[in-house]
Structure 1
């Protein structure tokens, strides 16, 4: 899945939202309070509500530019890339890419069929998240002007 979107938020604002989310996720999963500079190369195990587990590795962190991570389960390997390009001081371009490798032939067939259906909903959900981030910035900006 690949999504490109222009947002009316500064690149550092969007980057901070992504990093804060990652740091929160790590704290919830490990009880460790990392700093941004400790993220690259960090690996941890996340347990989901249904007791499934995934190994997450932060692969690349470049301030205000990119955030890459990999999630591995016994069925799939997901790679996620956020590329952030500053357009001007108040806007940025987000390029989001998510790839999935399935483990085993049966899982590949299942993921292919399910992926076609869920892909649409995942894109819609991701675009809604981007809109929420943009609205938090814009409402914050309106608040500071009053």
Structure 2
């Protein structure tokens, strides 16, 4: 899935929102307080439910430009990229991309394709709504 959205906010404002969210998630999941400088390459275990967890690794962090991470679980590998393009001092284009690689064979992959196509519209709409909420908070 790939989403592109123009927002009327500075690149550093959007970047700060993303990084602050990641640092908060790390603190709540691990109890560790780390700095932004320690984020790239940082890996931690995130508990989604009592029985579901995954390893999240920050793979790329470029101030005001990019945030990438991977999520590895026993069912899939999930790669996410946020690219921030500065259009002007107060306008950016955010490109969000995600790729999922399912583990567990053909049936699991087919299930993921089916569920992904059904839920894709809702997820896309909710993600755009979240971006617009970030813009409105500026």
- The structure with more radius of gyration: 1
Structure-1-length-normalised TM-score: 0.92
Residue equivalent to 2:12: 12
Deviations 1:34-77 (A, max 9, x none): 11010000000001134301000000000000000000111111
Mapping 1:60-139, distance limit 5 Å: 60-103=60-103, 104-137=105-138
Aligned residue pairs, count? 137
Q: Over the residues paired in the alignment, what is the CA RMSD in angstroms?
A: 0.8
Instruction: Identify, as 1 or 2, the structure richer in helix.
Output: 1
Structure 2, gaps ≥5 residues long: none
TM-score of the superposed pair, with normalisation by structure 2: 0.97
Give the 4+ runs in structure 1 shifted more than 6 A: none
Distance in 2 between residues matched to 1:50 and 1:117, nearest whole Å: 26
Determine helix, strand or coil for the equivalent of 2:123.
helix
Structure 1 unmatched ranges of 5 or more: 138-146
Q: Take 1:90 and 1:69, find their aligned partners in 2: how far apart are those partners? A: 26
